[in-house]
Amino acid sequence: STVASDMSLKENITDTKYGLSDIMKLRGVDFDWKREDMGHDVGVLAQEVEAVIPELVKEYDGLRGKFKAVDYNKLVPILIESIKELKTEVDSLRVLTEIEEIKE
């Protein structure tokens, strides 16, 4: 899906406060929908996500009452920052390994 993201539409732009430590608190799950025609699926649980990154969760009124939904698109920038953190860690480990090899 496409979401408007043009810089000209935004203000007060700062780096996200979320990153790898927050992603590590989330859990991917396999599940079966209660509606038989929906079948088996994968995802996250809105209540668990809300406890860590509340901006990703919205509550809606449905035919059977209120339910929570996750905006999966908004996970992308947090995953990007998490990958960058991991890359920094990998690079640091490479440097340490190279230093140890030189010492030997």
68-102: pLDDT as tens digits:
999 999 999 999 999 999 999 999 999 999 998 89
Q: Quick check: pTM over 0.75?
A: yes
The DSSP call for residue 64 is T
CA angle (25, 27, 29) in 5-degree steps: 175
Read off the pLDDT of residues 3-30 as tens digits, 9 standing for 90 and up: 899 999 999 999 999 999 999 999 999 9
